[in-house]
């Protein structure tokens, strides 16, 4: 949150931000031939204090994303409602899988076959199933984790054979783009992969979630077919680490 603002001012800002974002989501959805209800909104709550997260939840937001297991764990006792849906969206090390599985309903950041296998094994032990998204490195950037477009289909087919994980779609983070046409091209290729894999009708793969678009580019992502956007700083203000 911005420094030196009262809690009331921060609450007010979150409300105004949320109104503005939902209006833009509805506009982009309409332009893409869909309705606002077709786009799931995730509030990305990394570095945000629980009092502000809970205020966002009181406005009707029903899904939050955290990118670190430890931070999520430390906030668990504060969420209201406690059972708000939570997804992990950051890189996950195999040695933290057992910690995070009980806390979330989806892991969006599955970036290797090995990680998916570990999730499946751990889920089996815990007696649950885990929904996952495969993270695509859509710009083939060395600095980012995720499957390259080339390896995605083969990896998806291999992961589909693990019985306790279920592939529900893709998460894509494009390179930083200085214009919206360029961003749209990356989102469009992620959408194409999403459609292609879905059309193969592989057992245990159900391509229903295309998670893409953040504060600066959710509008473009929706125009290109995102079904879920992940918004942090536009909602809560810029992050202080
Ligand atoms: C931080 C984060 C976001 C949200 O970013 P903003 O630009 O603050 O909206 C979305 N997705 C992932 C994976 C993130 O780590």
Predicted structure pTM score:
0.96
Q: Which atom of ligand 1 is nearest to the CA of 234?
A: 9
Q: Residues 190-196: what's their mean pLDDT?
A: 98
Q: Identify the band that residue 213 occupies on the pLDDT scale cut at 50, 70 and 90.
A: very high
pLDDT of residue 161: 98
> Which residues' Cβ are closer than 6 Å to ligand 1?
44, 46, 67, 89-90, 214-215, 230-234
Which of 21, 67, 217 is the best mutation target for the ligand 1 pocket, counting ligand atoms within 8 Å of the beta carbon and taking the most?
Answer: 67
Angle (CA) 29-109-23 rounded to 5° is 20
Which residues have a Cβ under 8 Å from the Cβ of 15 and sit 6 or more positions away?
59
pLDDT of residue 177: 85
Angle (CA) 126-227-51 rounded to 5° is 65
Q: Identify the band that residue 3 occupies on the pLDDT scale cut at 50, 70 and 90.
A: low
**41 CA → ligand 1 middle, Å:** 12
Q: Are 109 and 90 in contact (CB under 8 A)?
A: yes
Encode pLDDT of 88-115 as tens digits.
Answer: 999 999 999 999 999 999 999 999 999 9
Least confident of 11-15, 72-76, 123-127, 179-183: 179-183
Q: Identify the band that residue 202 occupies on the pLDDT scale cut at 50, 70 and 90.
A: very high
Q: Which residues of 140-175 are buried (b: 16+ CB within 10 A; e: fewer)?
A: eeeebbbbebeebeebbbebbebebbbbbbbbbbbe
Asked if the model's pLDDT at residue 239 lies above 90, the reply is no
Asked if the model's pLDDT at residue 2 lies above 60, the reply is no
- CA torsion sign, 192 to 193 to 196 to 201? negative
Q: Are 168 and 133 in contact (CB under 8 A)?
A: yes
Encode pLDDT of 8-63 as tens digits.
Answer: 999 999 999 999 999 999 999 999 999 999 999 999 999 999 999 999 999 999 99
Classify burial at 24, counting beta carbons within 10 Å of its beta carbon; exposed 0-12, middle 13-18, buried 19 or more.
Answer: middle
Q: What are the phi and psi torsion angles at 166 (to 5°)?
A: -130, 120
Query: Ligand 1: which residue has its CA nearest to atom 12?
Result: 89
**Strand, coil or helix: what is 26?**
helix
Encode pLDDT of 136-172 as tens digits.
Answer: 999 999 989 999 999 999 999 999 999 999 999 999 9
Angle (CA) 203-205-206 rounded to 5° is 120
């Amino acid at each position: 949150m911005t420094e030196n603002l009262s809690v009331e001012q921060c609450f007010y800002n979150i409300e105004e931000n949320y109104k503005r974002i939902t209006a833009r989501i509805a506009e982009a959805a309409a332009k893409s031939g869909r309705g606002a209800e077709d786009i799931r909104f995730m509030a990305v709550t990394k570095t945000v204090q629980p009092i502000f997260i809970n205020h966002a939840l009181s406005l009707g937001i029903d899904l939050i994303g955290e990118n670190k297991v430890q931070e999520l764990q430390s906030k668990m006792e504060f969420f209201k409602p406690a059972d708000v849906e939570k997804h992990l969206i950051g890189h996950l090390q195999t040695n933290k899988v057992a910690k995070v599985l009980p806390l979330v309903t989806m892991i969006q950041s599955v970036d290797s076959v090995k990680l998916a296998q570990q999730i499946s094994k751990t889920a089996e032990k815990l007696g649950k199933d885990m929904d996952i998204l495969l993270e695509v490195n859509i710009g083939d950037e060395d600095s980012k984790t995720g499957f390259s477009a080339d390896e995605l289909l083969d990896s998806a087919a291999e992961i589909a054979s693990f019985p306790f994980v279920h592939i529900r779609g893709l998460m894509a983070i494009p390179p930083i783009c200085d214009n919206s046409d360029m961003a749209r091209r990356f989102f469009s290729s992620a959408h194409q992969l999403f459609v292609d894999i879905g059309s193969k009708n592989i057992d245990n793969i159900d391509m229903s979630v295309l998670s893409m678009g953040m504060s600066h580019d959710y509008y473009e992502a929706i125009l290109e077919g995102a079904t879920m956007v992940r918004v942090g700083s536009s909602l809560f203000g810029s992050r202080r680490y």
